[in-house]
Amino acid sequence: MKVLLSLIKKEFYHIIRDKRSLLILVGMPIVQVVLFGFAISNEIHEAPIAVVAPNKSQKVLRLLERIEVSSYFHIVRFLESGGQLDEVFKEGEIKLVLLIDKDFSRDLGQRKTAKLQVIADATDPNTATTLTGYIEAITNRFAREGFSPLPVGKQMPPLIDINVKMQYNPSLRSVFLFVPGIITVILLLISAMMISITLAREKEKGNMEILLVSPLNPVVIVLGKVLPYVILALVNGWSILLLGVWLFGVPIRGDLVLIFGEMLLFVLTALSLGLFISTKVQTQQAALMISLIGLMLPTIILSGFIFPIESMPLPLQFISHLIPAKWFLIILRAIMLKGATLHYVVKETIILGIICLVLLGLAVKNFKTRLE
Amino acid sequence: MSRINKNYIVRAKNLTKRFGDFTAVNQINFEVEPGEIFGFLGANGAGKTTAMRMLTGLLKATDGDAHVAGHSINGSPEKVKYSIGYMSQKFSLYDDLKVYENIRLYGGIYGLTGKQIRSKIEDILEELNMTALRNKLVRDLPLGWKQKLAFSVALVHDPAVVFLDEPTSGVDPITRRSFWELIYRAARRGVTVFVTTHYLDEAEYCDRVSIMVNGVIEALDTPQKLKEKYHARSMHEVFVHLARKEQ
Amino acid sequence: MQKTFVRIENLTKRYGEVEALRDISLDIKQGELFGIIGPDGAGKTTLMRILVTLILPDSGEAAINGREVVKDWKYLRKHIGYMPGTFSLYEDLTIEENLHFFATIFGTTKEENYDLIKEIYEHIEPFKDRKAGQLSGGMKQKLALSCALIHRPDFLVLDEPTTGIDAVSRVELWEMLGKLKDEGLTILVSTPYMDEAELCDRVAFLQDGVITEVNAPDTIKKEFDQPLYAMNSKDNYELLMGLRKMDMVRSAFLFGENIHVVTNHSYGEEELQKAVLEEAGIRANIRPIHAGIEDCFMSRMMD
């Protein structure tokens, strides 16, 4: 125990005294969050929009009035038809066009589903998402007003079917989805990359020679390496989470203990991966290259962090199943954004657990008690 | 002997290097003649590597100046670099290039023409008895051969001065001596050799030896005169006497 | 004679095509200061790493104090002190942090065995808050030696501790090894410096993975049976080139201020002087000498 503590203390000295790793550990999460934070938290004010409304009934006018007074939007033009859309967007002033079905008033009055289409200029995806979000909120509230609640147990049909279309960037995902994504990437970065580099460093500098010659059990050597990074990774994960909540209001609907548990599982998986890499390389440089190219890129591309997996070609979809980050991302999004309980993510958790055990097994099997 | 009219190839004047509060090289003065083998000795951390780096233009002097092959290391360090060869204790050839490719590379770096390079390759391979090894990767050569090759490559552009930083470290005794024979041969051709070493028997091979202690040159003379002065039987005794006194 | 402490039998190690060690057999006695002399790439490091249980031999056996290096590695690792060829302490930790760290992982404390390292550690203690990476070569070696001794090993293995170290630090290091030997430690040390061989009780000369000679330095020197002369002239290089051309000269090498010359027969000094003057045209000072350890090894290398 004392030995383990002294290994951990030593590891923290390394981290604190190496400007580079300290920068990665502390700087990276902050930079990432702030970067996204700035991109997302641009306050929307009086965004110019256009409206296509063939039938300017009273209900339509009331809806438009509601939108206009919200201070988020300013209706600058009425268009004759949807055909002018492209032209209008290309001029660049209009950020969003609202197309109101000609039967809107009638359908709403008859408690049928009224149709409304929102088309946003998504060349600036973050603004576009925020704008459509506001429009959705306003129209939904508008629809609910003036109608008595339905009997309990009976689901209320959506009264306004809002058809949101992202012009120029159809696969855009909600920004909230980015926070779990950043957490995933940072956890992987700290865990897998840092552990493989730090172990490779011990080999490269010849420190490993001395550690191996000492009576230390290899398990203790590995634990002494791994534990500090588990702690760091968790601290980092939670800081991003809190920054996300505080900076741009990302919801955490699920159980915090569950999030903690899943995070720990993912960190262990990533650490096993890093350990495994380190058993295969001799130099820090090789460790860095493999972690970056072999790990970071597939994770960012194939985990669903940026590109939706459903729209990938089948072979890539298959590969994505092997990426631990994909499963963690699904879990984390479900818990944070949908408030899922363990029950809902049990399949993903088990898969992640299996990947973790396999990687850990491989790493332990390949960790040598001798040189070569 | 009139020193004023002499033609010096290296001349350091109050050469000084400070790192923060620490003075690594403290106002050293010396001259080296063309074709001389000049031994530059000192304990670890005495400042010889720092001094050597200033003379080769790798490091800026804090104070003072030195002229190497007629060029000031402060005024025209780039010209200095073209007139010197340098071989560091860390092996400076490319391991994954073949023997002749290394020679060609350094020839190219120093601006030799294709024809010059081709003839250099033949000359060097012949001098080192390595003609049969021209297509071997450098990493497959024994250390002693690598060091000899590195020395010849440092001379590929016929520099006036060649700086050798612990060239024989870890080399077997026979190869070590044949390396020194290469040094002698280069000196006969008029190349000035500036060499550091931890093997003190090698200090005896030098025409003159300087011993640095704590950033200053504590002694500078021929090995013979140094031994007489300190009543020592070998350069080893001279060195230990001088370097230990300071600790 | 003392009892055998390290027993090495028919040890062989291959790296791909290269045979690093070829059928090595060797005994090291208890309390002996044993030297392995040989150039870079001779197999010194491989042999030492096998002994400290860091690599496995392809065939053959080795045992330290009766414990097999392959089977009993866990036991041996507690009782061996090892100092690798490259400085392998943590450069970003201070002297004191390094020492404490290594004490802890060996399950001991700095205080417990302080008497053993006291003399070595005192040299560097004034700088104990300095990071190991900022130390000079000699100081690094003292720290590494302190760390290798902190758990009071029975067997100390040092891989080229004096390479790249200045002459003063080398002298000091050998003084320390002498004292540790007096404490009863068995010490195995490798070096490329031939003069250091003289400081060992016995030495083995390792070349291309083969041990060509094992003996006490004095015995080795006495066994040298060729006529050997020291010569010098105003221009030793000229003399060397001249000697190389002479039929009576078997070998001629620079040796400090002299050239050491081995001849095919024994000659009188005047006879030899005359021959050198006639054949090489150089007036040389000549005197017969006894071989040093380096003469012996060089002559063996040429066989």
B/C interface, count of CB pairs below 8 Å: 91
By C-alpha distance, which of A127, A128, A116, A96 is closest to A163? A116
Longest CA–CA separation in chain A, Å:
86
Chain C interface, mutation test: which of A13, A18, A202, A213, most C Cβ atoms within 10 Å? A213
Contacts of C102 in chain A (CB under 8 A): 210, 214
pLDDT band, residue A295 (cuts 50/70/90): confident
Chain B interface, mutation test: which of C136, C168, C261, most B Cβ atoms within 10 Å? C168
Structure tokens at B210: 């300087």
Residue A147 has pLDDT above 70, yes or no: no
Residue A305 has pLDDT above 80, yes or no: no
Residue B73 contacts C, CB cutoff 8 Å: no
Residue A16 corresponds to which amino acid? I
C82-130 pLDDT, tens digit per residue, is: 999 888 889 899 999 999 999 998 888 889 889 889 989 998 999 999 9
Task: Answer whether C90 sits within 8 Å of A371, measured CB to CB.
Answer: no
pLDDT band, residue C219 (cuts 50/70/90): very high
- The owner of tokens 């030696």 is C145
E strand or H helix that includes residue C181: helix C167-182
CB-based contact A203:A156 (threshold 8 Å): no
Q: How far apart, in whole angstroms, are the C-alpha atoms of residue C10 and residue A358?
A: 40
Residue A15 corresponds to which amino acid? I
Nearest CA in chain C to A8: C101
- Range in A119-128, C280-289, C291-300 the model is least confident about: A119-128
Contacts of C78 in chain A (CB under 8 A): 215
Q: What is the pTM of this model?
A: 0.76
Residue C71 contacts A, CB cutoff 8 Å: no
Q: How far apart, in whole angstroms, are the C-alpha atoms of residue C58 and residue A310?
A: 53
C68-81 pLDDT, tens digit per residue, is: 999 998 899 999 99
By C-alpha distance, which of B160, B16, B22 is closest to B74? B16
A248-262 pLDDT, tens digit per residue, is: 677 788 888 999 999
Task: Answer whether B199 sits within 8 Å of C193, measured CB to CB.
Answer: yes
By C-alpha distance, which of B45, B73, B53, B63 is closest to B198? B45
Nearest to A3 among C77, C93, C107 (CB): C107
Residue A22 corresponds to which amino acid? L
Residues 160-189 of chain C with CB under 8 A from chain A are none
Chain A interface, mutation test: which of C54, C58, C156, most A Cβ atoms within 10 Å? C54
Please report the pLDDT score of residue A151 as a whole number. 42
Q: Give the residues across from B165 on adjacent strands.
A: B196
Chains C and B touch (3+ CB pairs under 8 A): yes
Residue B238 contacts C, CB cutoff 8 Å: no
Task: Answer whether C54 sits within 8 Å of A370, measured CB to CB.
Answer: yes
Residue A102 contacts C, CB cutoff 8 Å: no
Please report the pLDDT score of residue A153 as a whole number. 43
CB-based contact C209:C58 (threshold 8 Å): no
Q: How far apart, in whole angstroms, are the C-alpha atoms of residue A335 and residue A345?
A: 8
Task: Answer whether A213 sits within 8 Å of C54, measured CB to CB.
Answer: yes
Please report the pLDDT score of residue C136 as a whole number. 82
Q: How far is B208 from chain C (nearest CA, A)?
A: 13
Task: Answer whether A17 sits within 8 Å of C92, measured CB to CB.
Answer: yes
Residues of chain B with pLDDT under 70: 1-6, 89-91, 245-247
Please report the pLDDT score of residue A39 as a whole number. 59
By C-alpha distance, which of B180, B112, B172, B181 is closest to B144? B172
Kindly list the partner chains of chain B, i.e. chains with 3 or more CB atom pairs below 8 Å. Answer: C
Determine, yes or no, domain membership for B122.
no
Q: CA–CA distance from A253 to each of A334, B52, B212 (Å)?
A: 9, 66, 71
- Range in A274-283, A296-305, C183-192 the model is least confident about: A296-305
Measured in whole angstroms, the distance separating CA C142 from the mean position of its chain's CA atoms is 17
Q: Are strands B37-42 and B192-196 parallel, antiparallel or unpaired?
A: parallel
Higher per-residue confidence, C301 vs C218 = C218
Kindly list the partner chains of chain C, i.e. chains with 3 or more CB atom pairs below 8 Å. Answer: A, B
Contacts of C38 in chain B (CB under 8 A): 172
Structure tokens at B106: 């350094």
3-class secondary structure per residue, chain A: CHHHHHHHHHHHHHHHHCHHHHHHHHHHHHHHHHHHHHHHCCCCCCEEEEEECCCCCHHHHHHHHHHHHCCCEEEEEEECCHHHHHHHHHHCCCCEEEEECCCHHHHHHCCCCEEEEEEEECCCHHHHHHHHHHHHHHHHHHHHCCCCCCCCCCCCCCCEEEEEEEECCCCCCCHHHHHHHHHHHHHHHHHHHHHHHHHHHHHHHCHHHHHHHCCCCHHHHHHHHHHHHHHHHHHHHHHHHHHHHHHHCCCCCCCHHHHHHHHHHHHHHHHHHHHHHHHHCCCHHHHHHHHHHHHHHHHHHHCCCCCCHHHCCHHHHHHHCCCHHHHHHHHHHHHHHHCCCHHHHHHHHHHHHHHHHHHHHHHHHHCCCCCC
Kindly list the partner chains of chain A, i.e. chains with 3 or more CB atom pairs below 8 Å. Answer: C
C51-67 pLDDT, tens digit per residue, is: 999 999 999 999 999 99
Q: How far is C78 from chain A (nearest CA, A)?
A: 5
Nearest to B177 among C138, C254, C257 (CB): C254
- The owner of tokens 């534990």 is A227
Contacts of B181 in chain C (CB under 8 A): 237, 240, 254
Residue A1 contacts C, CB cutoff 8 Å: no
Determine, yes or no, domain membership for B173.
yes
Domain with residue B21: its CATH number is 3.40.50.300
Higher per-residue confidence, A131 vs C272 = C272
For the CA atoms of C266, C271, C275, C281, the dihedral, rounded to the nearest 10 degrees, stands at 130
Residue B172 contacts C, CB cutoff 8 Å: yes
Please report the pLDDT score of residue A170 as a whole number. 39
Contacts of C89 in chain A (CB under 8 A): 207, 210
Q: How far apart, in whole angstroms, are the C-alpha atoms of residue A321 and residue A326?
A: 7
Q: How far is A219 from chain C (nearest CA, A)?
A: 13
Task: Answer whether A10 sits within 8 Å of C101, measured CB to CB.
Answer: yes
Nearest CA in chain C to A218: C74
User: Which of the residue ranges A248-257, C25-34, C41-50 has the most confident prediction, judged by mean pLDDT?
Assistant: C25-34
* DSSP character string of B53-111: HHHTTSS--SEEEEEETTEETTT-HHHHHHHEEEE-SS--S-TTSBHHHHHHHHHHHTT
Q: Where are the alpha helices (DSSP H) in chain B?
A: 48-55, 77-83, 99-109, 114-127, 143-154, 173-188, 200-203, 223-229, 235-245
Residue A62 has pLDDT above 90, yes or no: no
Residue A154 has pLDDT above 50, yes or no: no
E strand or H helix that includes residue C104: helix C95-105
Residue C193 contacts B, CB cutoff 8 Å: yes
Nearest to A207 among C80, C90, C100 (CB): C90
Mean pLDDT across C205-217 = 91
Nearest to C163 among B170, B205, B224 (CB): B170
Please report the pLDDT score of residue B184 as a whole number. 93
CA neighbours within 13 Å on the CB side: how many for B57? 22
Own/partner pairs, C133-138, CB within 8 angstroms, 24+ separation: C133/C91, C133/C92, C135/C95, C136/B43, C136/B44, C136/B45, C136/C169, C137/B44, C137/B45, C137/C164, C137/C165, C137/C166, C137/C169, C138/B43, C138/B44, C138/C165, C138/C166, C138/C168, C138/C169, C138/C172, C138/C173
Where are the domains positioned within chain A? 47-167, 175-371
Residue C165 contacts B, CB cutoff 8 Å: yes
Q: How far is C137 from chain B (nearest CA, A)?
A: 6
Determine, yes or no, domain membership for B119.
no
C142-195 pLDDT, tens digit per residue, is: 999 999 999 999 999 999 998 878 888 889 999 999 999 999 999 999 988 888
Task: Answer whether A17 sits within 8 Å of C53, measured CB to CB.
Answer: no
Chains C and A touch (3+ CB pairs under 8 A): yes
Please report the pLDDT score of residue A44 as a whole number. 63
CB-based contact B121:B100 (threshold 8 Å): yes
Residue A369 contacts C, CB cutoff 8 Å: yes
Please report the pLDDT score of residue B216 as a whole number. 93
Task: Answer whether C164 sits within 8 Å of B224, measured CB to CB.
Answer: no
Contacts of A205 in chain C (CB under 8 A): 86, 88, 91
CA neighbours within 13 Å on the CB side: how many for C236? 22
Please report the pLDDT score of residue A284 as a whole number. 86
Task: Answer whether A214 sits within 8 Å of C87, measured CB to CB.
Answer: no
Task: Answer whether C56 sits within 8 Å of A370, measured CB to CB.
Answer: yes
Q: How far apart, in whole angstroms, are the C-alpha atoms of residue C195 and residue B198?
A: 12
Residue A210 contacts C, CB cutoff 8 Å: yes
By C-alpha distance, which of A198, A14, B193 is closest to C91? A14
Q: What is the DSSP letter of C2?
A: P
Task: Answer whether B180 sits within 8 Å of C254, measured CB to CB.
Answer: yes
Q: What range defines the domain where residue B53 resides?
A: 10-92+160-245
Residues 196-225 of chain C with CB under 8 A from chain A are none
Nearest to B43 among C163, C168, C194 (CB): C168
* ipTM of this complex prediction, to 2 decimal places: 0.82
Q: How far apart, in whole angstroms, are the C-alpha atoms of residue B38 and residue B217?
A: 13
Domain count along chain B:
1
Q: Alpha-carbon torsion C84, C87, C90, C96, what sign?
A: positive
pLDDT band, residue A101 (cuts 50/70/90): confident
Q: How far apart, in whole angstroms, are the C-alpha atoms of residue A263 and residue A237?
A: 8
Domain A47-167 has CATH 1.10.10.10: no
Nearest to A213 among C77, C87, C89 (CB): C77
Residue A152 has pLDDT above 50, yes or no: no
By C-alpha distance, which of A164, A67, A76 is closest to A119? A164
